[in-house]
Amino acid sequence: MTSAKLPKFRTFTTLFFISALLAVPVMAVADTVLIETPLGSIEIELLKDDAPKTVENFLRYLESGKYTASFIHRSEPGFIIQGGGFTFSGSNPSGIIPFASVENEFKLSNTRGTVAMAKVGNAPDSATSQWFINLADNSDNLDNQNGGFTVFARVIGNGMAVADAINQLPVLGAAGDFTEMPVIDYNGGPIITTDNLVMTALTHNADPVDPQAFAMNAGMNDAWYNPLTDGQGFFITVFPELNKVTLAWFTYDTSLPPVDASADLGSPGHRWLTALGDINGDKSVMDITIASGGLFDTETEVQPVDYTDGGTITLSFSNCNSGMIDYDIPSIGRQGSVPIERVANDNAALCEALLGE
C-alpha cells in the first residue's frame, strides 16, 4: 500500500509502524504516565483493560530505565510524533536495546490523541519499544493494516496542545532514522546537543493502593515452595523501607548431578535465578537476573550469562501463606505460572500482625 501514510519506526535499519492516543478529561483515579518535554508535559492514561500486555510492555521499558534520556525522533505534520526508539548522551544517539516483542492487541481505533506502539511491516506481533501519538484521526489507515496498530493509552488534559506544538517544530532531515527529527533552536551546525532535541522524561503514576487490600510486608520474609511439584523452592525478602522485594528461585534434582553437568537455565539439574522489583500493594513486577553454573553439592563455578533480556516475574499474594508467580523468560522461551506456599505456615503471625498496622 503506497498511497496511505504509514508511521515509520526503525531501529537503525528496520522500518516500524506506530499507533495513537485519544484525548479525554482527566479522571480522579487513573493509571497514568507523565511525558515531560521542553515544550511542556503530556499526560497519558494507560488502557490496561483494553491492551494489558502492551501496557505491561510499555511500563517495563519505563521502569527498567530504557527510556531514560530518550527523545522524539520523528514528527510528521498532521500525522504522528514518535519516540521511545533512541537515547542521546554525549553527542550521538543510541538505539534502545529492545526486550522481546509483544503480542498484538488491536481493539481501539487510532483516533486523534491515542497512543500506540510501532511495529515491523507485515509483522503484527513485532512491537517493542517505540511509541507514537496520533495527531489526527488515522483510523482508516492504521486500523486496517498489519493486524491493526494497538492503542494502549490516550492523551488527557491539555497534552495534545503540547503534542501539536512539537509537531510544529522544524525537522532536521538527517539520514537514516532521523529524516523527520524535530529540533529546537538548531542553527544548522555540525554539533547537536540535548538542548536542540525534544528530550522526554517519563514518570509512571500508578493507581493508588487500596488500603483495605492485602499488602506485602516484612512478615513474608521466609522460605516458600511450589506445592504442585518437588524440587522447587523460593526465598523471599521484603524491604518496606526501600519499597523493594527480592526473590531467589532454585530448582534441584533429588540426586547429585554428573560432574560435567551445567546449571544453565532451562536445562535439567540444579539452577538458580534471582529477581528484584518495586512493591505495589500485593504485587511486584520484578526483573530477573540469570547466572549459570553453581550446581548444588558440587564445586562448579557460577558464571554470568550474557542474556539481553533475563525476563520478568510478577509476584503476588492473596494472603500471608499463599501467592503466585507469573514468569516470562524470553531467553529460553518459557512463560507460565507457579503457585507458592509458605514452608512453615505458623510463621504467618508476624505478616498478619503487620497487615493491621
Task: Read off the CATH number of the domain in which 63 is found.
Answer: 2.40.100.10
Arithmetic mean of pLDDT, 51-69: 93
Close Cβ partners of 267 (under 8 Å, ≥ 6 residues apart): none
Better pLDDT: 8 or 325: 325
190: pLDDT strictly greater than 60: yes
Name the band, by pLDDT with cuts 50, 70 and 90, for residue 255: low
What gap in Å lies between CA 118 and CA 136, rounded to an integer? Answer: 17
Name the band, by pLDDT with cuts 50, 70 and 90, for residue 76: very high
| Same domain, yes or no: 113 and 187 | yes
Amino acid code (one letter) for 286: M
pLDDT of residue 3: 36
Write the DSSP string, 96-141: PPP---B-----S---TEEEEE-EETT-TT-B-S-EEEESS--HHH
| Same domain, yes or no: 127 and 195 | yes
Instruction: Indicate whether 143 belongs to any domain.
Output: yes
| Same domain, yes or no: 162 and 84 | yes
Name the band, by pLDDT with cuts 50, 70 and 90, for residue 28: very low
Which range has the worst mean pLDDT, 16-25, 56-65, 217-226? 16-25
For cell 520474609, the residue is 221
Question: In this predicted model, what pLDDT tens digit does every residue of 35-48 receive, in sequence order?
Answer: 999 999 999 999 99
| Same domain, yes or no: 70 and 127 | yes
Which range has the worst mean pLDDT, 113-117, 136-140, 299-303? 299-303
Arithmetic mean of pLDDT, 57-68: 93
Phi, psi of 286 (to 5 degrees): -115, 140
Of 241, 248, 252, 319, the closest CA to residue 286 belongs to 248
349: pLDDT strictly greater than 60: yes
What gap in Å lies between CA 242 and CA 350, rounded to an integer? Answer: 19
19: pLDDT strictly greater than 50: no
What gap in Å lies between CA 339 and CA 224, rounded to an integer? Answer: 10
For cell 534434582, the residue is 253
Name the band, by pLDDT with cuts 50, 70 and 90, for residue 253: low
Arithmetic mean of pLDDT, 78-104: 92
Q: Compute the C-alpha angle 234/235/241, nearest 5°.
A: 140
pLDDT of residue 307: 45
Instruction: Indicate whether 92 belongs to any domain.
Output: yes
Name the band, by pLDDT with cuts 50, 70 and 90, for residue 355: confident
Instruction: Indicate whether 212 belongs to any domain.
Output: no
Arithmetic mean of pLDDT, 217-245: 88
Better pLDDT: 353 or 108: 108
| Same domain, yes or no: 180 and 245 | no
Question: In this predicted model, what pLDDT tens digit does every residue of 264-317 receive, in sequence order?
Answer: 555 656 567 888 888 888 888 888 877 665 555 555 565 555 444 567 888 888
pLDDT of residue 125: 95
DSSP 305: -
Of 204, 200, 202, the closest CA to residue 88 belongs to 200
The mean pLDDT of the chain is 81
Which range has the worst mean pLDDT, 23-32, 177-186, 189-198, 304-313? 23-32
92: pLDDT strictly greater than 50: yes
Residue 338 sits in a domain of what CATH number? 2.40.128
Report percent pLDDT > 70 for the chain.
77
Arithmetic mean of pLDDT, 181-191: 90
| Same domain, yes or no: 91 and 233 | no
CA 16 vs CA 121, 122, 171, 263: distances in Å: 6, 10, 19, 38
Arithmetic mean of pLDDT, 76-80: 96
Arithmetic mean of pLDDT, 158-179: 92
12: pLDDT strictly greater than 70: no
- Provide the domain count of the chain: 2
| Same domain, yes or no: 147 and 32 | yes
| Same domain, yes or no: 135 and 107 | yes
| Same domain, yes or no: 59 and 184 | yes
Name the band, by pLDDT with cuts 50, 70 and 90, for residue 347: confident
| Same domain, yes or no: 194 and 294 | no
Instruction: Assign residue 109 a region (left: φ > 0; alpha: ψ between -120 and 50; beta: otherwise).
Output: beta
Instruction: Indicate whether 152 belongs to any domain.
Output: yes
0.75 surpassed by pTM:
no
Instruction: Indicate whether 9 belongs to any domain.
Output: no
Range of the domain at 300: 218-355
pLDDT of residue 27: 34
2: pLDDT strictly greater than 60: no
